[in-house]
Amino acid sequence: MDEQTRLMHSHTGVGMAGHPGLPQKQDIGDILQQIMTITDQSLDEAQARKHALNCHRMKPALFNVLCEIKEKTVLSIRGAQEEEPPDPQLMRLDNMLLAEGVSGPEKGGGSAAAAAAAAASGGVGADNSAEHSDYRAKLTQIRQIYHTELEKYEQACNEFTTHVMNLLREQSRTRPISPKEIERMVNIIHRKFSSIQMQLKQSTCEAVMILRSRFLDARRKRRNFNKQATEILNEYFYSHLSNPYPSEEAKEELAKKCAITVAQVSNWFGNKRIRYKKNIGKFQEEANMYAARTAVNAANASSHGSQANSPSTPNSAGSAGSFNMSNSGDLFMSVQSLNGDSYQGAQVGANVQSQVDTLRHVISQTGGYSEGLTANQMYSPQGINVRMFFFLSFSPYQLFQSHRAQNGT
DNA sequence: GTAAATGATTGCTC
DNA sequence: GAGCAATCATTTAC
């Protein structure tokens, strides 16, 4: 007699007294004992016993009863554990990774984050592009590692889930396992894996924060502006000495020209104003130098314009804050309003101021306003009026000619 | 190495 | 929020 026959016989041969076909307690005990010892047996032996149990005539009835009991238990368990709300910590991490350009679609996320970091620190200059690209490269590296690890976790999760599901399906033939229970098991597995993923996300966030803080620290290292930028700023400053407060548009224009940020332009003017005011004497030479330089530039421009018999019309298209004004001669100059001029207008302003400064002795002969034209009158409205008066009275060419006449050149 | 110059930051006022 | 004043931290010139 083979094992299966023996099993079948042992089960079918014993019936409950008075109830043929129903197993007695002893019988059930035997079955359970067989189930319990099934793992101690060899694979073939176990398979044979399993098969015998599956073929037992009582199996369907017993299985249904167990299914019913299990279903009630599962329902009560399921009822006890409601849908969990999303983990706020995980949401924070996800949001941060998205904002930093680590997760989500890559659309220059690195540079966007770098730009954001730069903006937070007061802006990025052109000479910082090396740092910028370094930041971007490192962020890309972090992003790659993150995605590789995430992929690995997801793959492992899927593999494990499939494996468990197969096991459960297999076991569902011998013990009652409902689809809902399988689903619950899958959820448990996913939760376990997502907690691992959270650790990965946390580590990634930390790495990004460290990178970012290093990037910002590096940016905090002061670097002097290049010579050209300083000259542009100084030119504007000294040509607007009466009111050295560039408008937002002017700041933007200056920032663009100097390849720095508007914030840096504001800083520069803040520093310059305070330092100039504190030590005017020290800056006098610088002021004269810029005034002379702009005067020469303006004169050159004017004389060229005069030779070509065409009026100097800088920015005649008219940017915000500047306007054209006809002069006593046939020359046209763009005059910046005192508070809200464009940079083009500022350059002309520089010409005017420098002409006034350089040709002080010319003016002193005609009206004796030289005292009123010193740089000391930085905040003097009277100073503004005097300058404006002289500016409106003389064309650059006329002023230059007077200057030449005075110097005998 | 040191002093001066300079860009950035901070706290305050208006 | 812009600007001032003081200060810090770094760069530059000597």
A223 touches strand C (CB under 7 A): yes
Which nucleotide does the CA of A264 lie closest to, via C1'?
B7
pLDDT tens digits, one per residue of A195-239: 888 888 888 877 777 776 666 665 556 789 999 999 999 999 999
pLDDT, residue A249, reads 92
CA–CA distance from A9 to each of A23, A62, A97, A114 (Å)? 13, 18, 66, 78
pLDDT tens digits, one per residue of A112-137: 555 555 544 444 444 445 556 666 67
* C1' of C12 to CA of A227 (Å): 13
Query: Picking from A12-16, A251-255, A273-277, which range would have the lowest pLDDT averaged per residue?
Result: A12-16
Band of the pLDDT at A81, cuts 50, 70, 90? low
Q: Is the pLDDT of residue A53 over 70?
A: yes
Band of the pLDDT at A281, cuts 50, 70, 90? confident
pLDDT, residue A45, reads 80
Which nucleotide does the CA of A244 lie closest to, via C1'?
C3
pLDDT, residue A67, reads 72
The CA distance from A124 to A167, in Å, is 58
| H or E element, residue A293 | helix A280-307
Considering only CA atoms, which residue is closest to the C1' of nucleotide C8?
A222
Which nucleotide does the CA of A121 lie closest to, via C1'?
B8
Which nucleotide does the CA of A125 lie closest to, via C1'?
B7
CA–CA distance from A82 to each of A193, A194, A251 (Å)? 20, 18, 58
Which nucleotide does the CA of A263 lie closest to, via C1'?
B8
Which chain A residues 276-315 have CB under 7 A to strand C? 277
* C1' of B3 to CA of A79 (Å): 78
| H or E element, residue A266 | helix A262-278
Which nucleotide does the CA of A247 lie closest to, via C1'?
C2
* C1' of B5 to CA of A300 (Å): 33
Strand B: which nucleotides have any atom within 7 A of a protein Cβ? Answer: 5-9
Two structure tokens written together for A289 = 């130098």
Task: Give the mean pLDDT of A25-42.
Answer: 73
Report the amino acid identity of residue A267: N
What's the pTM?
Answer: 0.42
A273 touches strand C (CB under 7 A): yes
Task: Give the mean pLDDT of A56-69.
Answer: 78
Strand C: which nucleotides have any atom within 7 A of a protein Cβ? Answer: 2-7, 9-12
Query: Picking from A253-262, A280-289, A354-363, which range would have the lowest pLDDT averaged per residue?
Result: A354-363
Do A400 and A303 form a contact (C-beta atoms < 8 A)?
A: yes
